[in-house]
Amino acid sequence: MLDQNLFINDYEETKRRLTRKRVPVEQIEEIRQAVLDRKTLVGEVDGLRAEVNEKSKQVGVLYQQGRKDEAEELKASVPELKKKLEAKEKEYKEVDDKRLQLLLRVPNLPDDDCPDGFTEDCNVVVRMEGYNESDYEGKEYKPHWEIGEELGVLDAERAAKLSGSMFALLRGDGARLHRALIQFALSINGDRNEEIIPPHFVRPEMMMGTGTLPKFADDAYRFRDDDLWAIPTGEVPLTNLHAGEILSIEELPKRYMAYTVCFRREAGSAGKETRGMQRLHEFHKVELVRLCTPETVKDEYELLISDAERPLKLLGLPYRVLDLCGGDVTFSSTRVHDLEVYSPGTKSWLEVSSIGIFSDFQTRRGNSRFRRSEKDKPELLHSLNGSGLAAPRVWAAVVEHGYQPDGSIRIPEVLVPFMGGQTEIRRS
RNA sequence: GGAGAGGUGGCCGAGCGGUUUAAGGCGCACGCUUGGAAAGCGUGUGUAGGCUUAUACCCUACCGAGGGUUCGAAUCCCUCCCUCUCCGCCA
């Protein structure tokens, strides 16, 4: 959520930046008006409440002095005042609720460093790592689902039998490779990130805290009987870990990583680039989250991007780094870099990490704060996150790149220790 | 799942319908004192919003959360959440 004062104190600038995310001007104006109206009404309500409080206090004093008649008289004069107060309160609540609902649905301001544009065509490829187009010319690559089926390590048919489309079932060495990837990612990122195993079901406030609710409710799974939501990413519990707390500056930055299962309904994306391990309702991921001061957020961002790149580099997978344009930057973020690994089997780039800065957008919702010193007022933390390793897509890339002419899959060297020394996958 | 107890400021803990603008203590900060320190004494010590040049004053809200009763609620009523103890169940 944005600071509502931006709509009053820095209106033109806020409008300019929101327009980059295609927020209609009318909507921005509506918020400004709601914020202003609320401010007026707060003053009026507070004034009336003060009057009621004062009179009630007097009633008490009069009773204690035994001046009962005067007390009764004063008491009788309150209901009229309260009627006025209640009417005003009702008006206030309506405006306040409108203001909140509007604010909750407005995206974060894009950073001016984001490239211009509104669609993904405007995203800028900043770097290519380990990719040469010529490497793939004249060669035939199989998609991972074919290889997986051939070797008996990916069983799409049974996954569908059990759960439907967009679910995967790995078996044997395929499952082992998947586990190795997770272990690998956790172990290389363990140097500066504290490992967390969070709950996978969270309260609605937590989904609200990351900006997933209310806007993206249709994309998540909800347990209706318990009013809990299945996390779509480890970002949700990690970002909210310190919700409602005030941390001291010495504890910062907080650098967390969590291996979790992620649950996504993927409403509306059925049939679209969903074969194999590309898009699943349920997948495993190592997520990295940072909470820090506003001053250090840019440095943390660079560090986070490099952390997210580490596994790809070490695995020897070709990937590219995208700087997302203002219009394509996600709802809660100010700046986003995507990492996309090249999938020769599908001749496409698969997004394997989206690293974003959220400024105080998420932490304002969750009220996660820090204090510079005992004398200073609490300030909102800044949050960032990115995938440390999105297992299915990296699994797909490893399988496609490692596929050998003899029908086996070569295991990247760095993974061998996590595979118990196994260097290849063959049909058993 | 059943029975019971309880959630009050950074912490402990009183209050159970009206000078509570939340007692008292601990902790913390500043000052006095001292050669220096401890002790002692004094002062201060939350969050958010409103009004303001102002982190001053004043006003409003907050005693787990949300509703309700009342002129007035930390205190009474209802719903929910959480913690603890015992029983049951269970990997």
pLDDT in tens, A107-147: 999 999 999 999 999 999 999 999 999 999 888 899 999 99
- Give residue A397's identity as a one-letter amino acid code: A
Q: Nearest-5° angle of CA A167, CA A173, CA A176? A: 75
pLDDT for A181 equals: 98
What is the nearest nucleotide to A378, using C1' and CA?
Answer: B47
CATH number of domain containing A215: 3.30.930.10
Count of residues making up chain A: 428
Element (H, E) at A315: helix A297-315
Residues A280 and A181 in one domain: yes
pLDDT at A374 over 90: no
- Which residues, in sequence order, are bridge partners of residue A319? A129, A341
Average pLDDT over residues A246-270: 90
Average pLDDT over residues A33-51: 93
ipTM of predicted assembly, 2 dp = 0.86
Residues A45 and A151 in one domain: no
Q: Which of A104, A139, A173 is the last residue of a domain?
A: A104
- Which residues, in sequence order, are bridge partners of residue A348? A343
- Strand B nucleotides in reach of protein CB atoms, 7 A cut-off: 18-19, 21, 28-29, 47-51, 59-61, 71-72
Q: Which of A35, A69, A104 is the last residue of a domain?
A: A104
Beta strands (DSSP E) in A42-175 are: 124-129
pLDDT in tens, A45-102: 999 999 999 999 888 888 888 888 888 888 888 888 889 999 999 999 999 999 999 9
**DSSP single-letter state for residue A154:** B
List, edge to edge, every strand of the sheet that includes A124-129: A124-129, A319-323, A335-343, A348-357, A382-390, A282-292, A254-263, A194-196
List, edge to edge, every strand of the sheet that includes A246-248: A246-248, A369-371, A379-380
Instruction: Please choose, from the candidates A197, A209, A205, A242, the residue with its C-alpha nearest in 3D space to the C-alpha of residue A227.
Output: A205
- Is the CB of residue A82 inside 7 Å of nucleic acid strand B? yes
Residues A70 and A23 in one domain: yes
Residues A390 and A311 in one domain: yes
Residues A143 and A46 in one domain: no
Q: Which residues contact A60 (CB under 8 A, 6 or more apart)?
A: none
Q: Would A13 be classed as within a structural domain?
A: yes
pLDDT in tens, A211-241: 998 889 999 999 887 888 999 999 999 999 9
Residues A154 and A13 in one domain: no
Q: Would A220 be classed as within a structural domain?
A: yes
Q: Which domain holds residue A60?
A: 6-104
CATH number of domain containing A64: 1.10.287
Distance between the alpha carbon (CA) of A251 and the C1' atom of B35, Å? 39
Residues A291 and A381 in one domain: yes
What is the nearest nucleotide to A53, using C1' and CA?
Answer: B72
Confidence of residue A272 (pLDDT cuts 50, 70, 90): low
Q: Which residues contact A303 (CB under 8 A, 6 or more apart)?
A: none
Who among residues 7-46 of A has its Cβ near strand B, under 7 Å? 39, 42-43, 45-46
What is the percentage of chain A residues whose pLDDT exceeds 70?
99
From CA A426, how far away is CA A150, in angstroms rounded? 10
Q: Would A283 be classed as within a structural domain?
A: yes
Average pLDDT over residues A191-217: 92
B21: residue with closest CA to C1': A57
**DSSP single-letter state for residue A119:** S
From CA A202, how far away is CA A262, in angstroms rounded? 12
